[in-house]
Structure 1
Amino acid sequence: MRFNPKARLDTSRTRDAGRSSAGRSGGSRLPIPGGIGGGGIGGVVLLVILFVIGRAVGIDILGGGGSGGGLGGGGLDSSRFTDTGRYSSCKTGEDANNSADCARVAVENSLFDYWTDELGGRFEPEEGLVTFTGSVDTGCGAASSDVGPFYCPPDRTIYLDSGFFDQVLEDQLGGPDGGFVEAYVLAHEYGHHIQNLLGAMGQVRTQQGPQSDAVRLELQADCYAGMWTKAATSTEDASGEVLFSSLTQQDIDLALEAAASVGDDRIQQKTQGQVTEESWTHGSAEQRQTWFETGFEQGSLEACDTFAASRV
């Protein structure tokens, strides 16, 4: 993965909340599905369940609807933290080639450009990508580093402890280490924002099991990540310069390996020594890889309609 040195980066949607003394104590646990937003990579499931229950009894738990039937909300309340200025030096694609922080900005810019083109008038940008260390206060409640990367629908914001990739994904889950791994995770979380805009979150009725709506929601986000990956090298900055100069098969393989490492079956095997399919909320390693590849190969919203598929 290489970025175009001439590309200009837009840091307006990327913030850093800094370090909190709360969070990990004695090392991070594995991101078992559950907790705020569902926990682990793709964490939105619990919020969706609460939303569906609330609507059923006439209560809007998440505070309003967004465009396209999405969950909406009031947007990111940046008064909850002081931006550390971590991304202020990220100006160009060359900065992104030399800094993991700036690469994060470049990936967000690419996702923004891709989905702007893909959705047209239905697109609304995410309110932010917020990194933190330890814990952070969000519109979904207080979140510690144990949660893993997640999208908070009321904030319309992606939250990420950047230490997750080395400390949890690689060290504890045995996942891959490489530049495109984080890009895949960010693309998956951005996929949840797209689901928020298009109303897919309101389709969740069943919460557990390999064919459940909760799993279908997560697999659709993987499929959306594949869609973006296929088109990433054609995404542009505000002046029309391409953002990516190259994306290799090795990058794609890293994304697939990362997807497998956060499958419910892999995590359950690590944490409890056995696999219980009836409790899945995110999908198996095979399911996650299959739907990422579906998005990559077919590249359409229709192909990624996991809710319409007879089986996922």
Structure 2
Amino acid sequence: MSFNEGSNLDTSQVTGGGSRGGLAIGGGIGTLVIVLIGAFLGVDLTSLGSSAANPYDQGQVQPGGSTSEQSFEQCKTGADANRDDTCRIIGTVNSVQDYWQDALPADVGRQYRAAKTVIYSGATQSPCGTASNQTGPFYCPSDERIYIDASFFDELTSRFGADDGALAQEYVVAHEYGHHVENILGFLAKGQDRKTGPLSGGVRIELMADCMAGVWANHAATTKDDQGNTLLRPLTDADIRSALSAASAVGDDHIQEDLGGGTVNPETWTHGSSESRQKWFLAGYESGTVNACDTFSTNDL
């Protein structure tokens, strides 16, 4: 999905962090959980439980350096978002938040809370633990921020097998904001059942976020910048195929079979199958409403 070249990007909705050198990570279950949950477009839930999951409290990790808003000075317009992955993240954040700001009160009567995205390079520290390309993009509920390294998009294509279309990347951002909406609506804690498998709470949370990404995609071409300019052009069939390729690429069965040794074990799933992830993205896209995304009211996942 391409941006309208004359639209304006609002860099105040993102912040920077991290450094190329990476960070020294100590042991502990918190780090392990982040790696397992965050690696494939997940949400880290450890901060909702014990503070022991926070490496700050254990002296294991030093925070990465911060990057000021000026670091994104190359990201001014939709034309920049069309040519630069970092600017595309910013434009997508702008679009997703513009949509939910109005849609959430209208659909379910809950007020949306703006959430910043931390765009880092290499590694940075969050209250949920260390963010890096090993963890992948994730949402941290304790500070209500999304953490993403733009270089993850190369991994999404080269390692996981998604195509390199714009909506594949935008889907990643919209999925993480889906977790933020889940947090606002009170669903996120339901993913803490400590179970795995196709019907587990964690899988339901991930599929719901996929659905919410689809809801945004349905309305993306109506979202506007702060000057009233439409941010994105209407979707094409190629855009939808691109988003579905990303949803498929991060399915548990695909990861286990193609990246994890060839054995598919549904009882260990935490995010859902490729088919399910595509199904729920399409459910959101075709319905255009968050009311179609209640994965906790059905076992037909």
Q: Give the TM-score of the pair, scaled to structure 1.
A: 0.83
Aligned to 1:66: none
Q: Distance in 2 between matches of 1:137 and 1:83?
A: 13
Q: Which residue of 1 aligns with 2:285?
A: 296
Task: Confirm or deny: 8 A CA contact 1:37 1:45 kept in the other structure.
Answer: no
* Pair 1:81 & 2:81 matched: no
Task: Kindly indicate whether residue 125 of structure 2 is the aligned counterpart of residue 155 of structure 1.
Answer: no
1:13: Cα distance to partner?
1.5
Equivalent residue number for residue 169 of structure 1? 156
SS in 1 for 2:15: strand
Matching residue within 72, 83, 94 for 1:109: 94
Choose the corresponding residue for 1:223, options 211, 221, 239: 211
Structure 1 residue aligned with 2:39: 40
Query: Closer, same or farther in 2 for the Cα pair 1:218/1:132, shift >3 Å?
Result: same
Answer yes or no: is 1:280 the counterpart of 2:269: yes
**155, 171, 185: which one pairs with 1:198?**
185
Tell me how far apart the structure 2 counterparts of residues 93 and 208 of structure 1 sit (CA, whole Å).
Answer: 41
Aligned residue in 2 for 1:9 = 9
Q: 8 Å contact 1:20–1:136 — kept in the other structure?
A: no
For the residues of structure 1 that align with 2:260 and 2:189, how far apart are their CA atoms?
30
Deviation at 1:288, TM superposition (A): 0.2
Check the 8 A contact 1:37/1:152 in 2, yes or no. no
Kept in 1: contact 2:161–2:249 (CA 8 A): yes
- Kindly indicate whether residue 114 of structure 2 is the aligned counterpart of residue 131 of structure 1: no
Report matched runs for 1:224-263 at 5 Å.
224-263=212-251
**Structure 2 counterpart of 1:27:** none
Aligned amino acid, residue 19 of structure 1: S
**Counterpart-to-counterpart distance in 1, 2:189 and 2:120:** 29
Change (3 A) 1:156 1:36: farther
Shift of 1:105: 1.3
TM-score (ref. length: structure 2): 0.85
Question: What SS does the corresponding residue of 1:281 show, helix, strand or coil?
Answer: coil
Cα distance change on mapping 1:111 and 1:135 into 2, 3 Å: same
Aligned-pair CA distance for 1:61? 8.0
Which residue number corresponds to residue 260 of structure 2?
271
2: CA distance between counterparts of 1:18 and 1:62?
A: 20
Q: Which amino acid aligns with 1:21?
A: G
- Any unmatched runs of 5+ in structure 1? 25-32, 64-78
Counterpart Cα distance in 2 of 1:87 and 1:81: 16
Shift of 1:18: 4.3
CA distance in structure 2 between the aligned counterparts of 1:97 and 1:134, rounded to whole angstroms: 23
CA offset at residue 171 of structure 1?
A: 1.8
CA distance in 2, matches of 1:195, 1:301: 10
Deviations 1:159-178 (A, max 9, x none): 11211121x22222222112
**Aligned residue number for residue 28 of structure 2:** none
CA distance, structure 2, for counterparts of residue 60 and residue 95 of structure 1: 40
Consecutive unaligned residues in structure 2, runs of 5 or more: 25-31, 55-62
Deviation larger for 212-221 or 95-104 = 95-104
Q: Tell me if the contact between 2:35 and 2:134 (Cα under 8 Å) persists in the aligned partners.
A: no
Cα offsets for 1:201-260 (capped at 9, x unmatched) = 122325200011110000000000000001000011122211112321111100001100
Q: Distance in 2 between matches of 1:81 and 1:246?
A: 38
What is the Cα deviation at residue 37 of structure 1? 7.4
> Are the aligned partners of 1:45 and 1:281 in contact in 2 as well (CA < 8 Å)?
no
Q: Is 2:118–2:146's contact at 8 Å kept on the other side of the alignment?
A: yes
Instruction: Find the aligned partners of 1:23 and 1:275 in 2 and give their Cα distance.
Output: 33
CA contact (8 A) 1:42 1:221 kept: no
Is the CA contact 1:4–1:243 (under 8 Å) kept in the aligned structure 2?
yes
| 3-state SS of 1:2 partner | coil
- Matched letter for residue 245 of structure 1: R
Q: As a proportion of its length, which structure holds more helix?
A: 2
* Contact persistence 2:2–2:166 (CA under 8 A): no
Query: Between Structure 1 and Structure 2, how many residues are aligned?
Result: 279
